Amino acid sequence: MNVFWSRGYHATALPDLLRATKLSRGSLYAAFGDKHSLFLLALDRYIADAMTRMDIEFDSHRDPVDGLRAYLAGYVDRNSGANGRRGCLLVATAMELAGRDADVDRRIGSFFKAMEARVAGALSRAKAAGKLADGVEPSSAARVLVCFVEGLRVVGKTAPTRIISQATVDAFLDRFIR
């Protein structure tokens, strides 16, 4: 996963994968089939890790606003300094392969829908608790918020400071929360 994340799909060569996995060519092909299959497994792992993180942040037993703040705090961490420069495997993959690889399109589309559903759930719970700003509709706000955090990942490639990332997130969240 780290090799693809660092280099991108097309720039990753078989020798890179052999070094990273410490497998011979035959063993790599026997275990994973081909580069594309290995890449999809790496992307699946990245997505599974993100989903697990969101399930913790948006746990239904947690205050929904606290969950949204935890979710966005994670983006501040991943968006700032060296973490931001590394970028997001999902965003990089979308930029490199979306529209040209149906397997990638399905995975990224499903991930964004799942992310949006989790955010909408938290916003709906916040609305029920009277913590959502007037006029904010949870599903529309969730779509906007997903676009916002993925845009943060793109801007993160310029390595903004933590203070700038946090101020951006705070200003954005203030539009939704009372």
Interval 30-56: pLDDT, tens: 999 999 999 999 999 999 999 999 999
Smallest CA-to-CA distance from 58 within 66, 49, 47 is with: 66
pLDDT at 85: 86
pLDDT at 83: 81
**Cα–Cα distance, 109 to 32 (Å, whole number):** 24
Say if residues 91 and 150 touch (Cβ distance below 8 Å): yes
pLDDT at 115: 98
pLDDT at 163: 93
**Cα–Cα distance, 136 to 127 (Å, whole number):** 8
pLDDT at 158: 87
Say if residues 83 and 162 touch (Cβ distance below 8 Å): no
**Cα–Cα distance, 114 to 57 (Å, whole number):** 14
104 φ, ψ (degrees, to nearest 5): -65, -45
131 φ, ψ (degrees, to nearest 5): -105, 0
For the chain, residues with pLDDT lower than 50 are none
29 φ, ψ (degrees, to nearest 5): -65, -35
**Residues 129-152 pLDDT 10s:** 999 999 999 999 999 999 999 999
pLDDT at 17: 96
Say if residues 122 and 173 touch (Cβ distance below 8 Å): no
Smallest CA-to-CA distance from 16 within 39, 45, 33 is with: 39
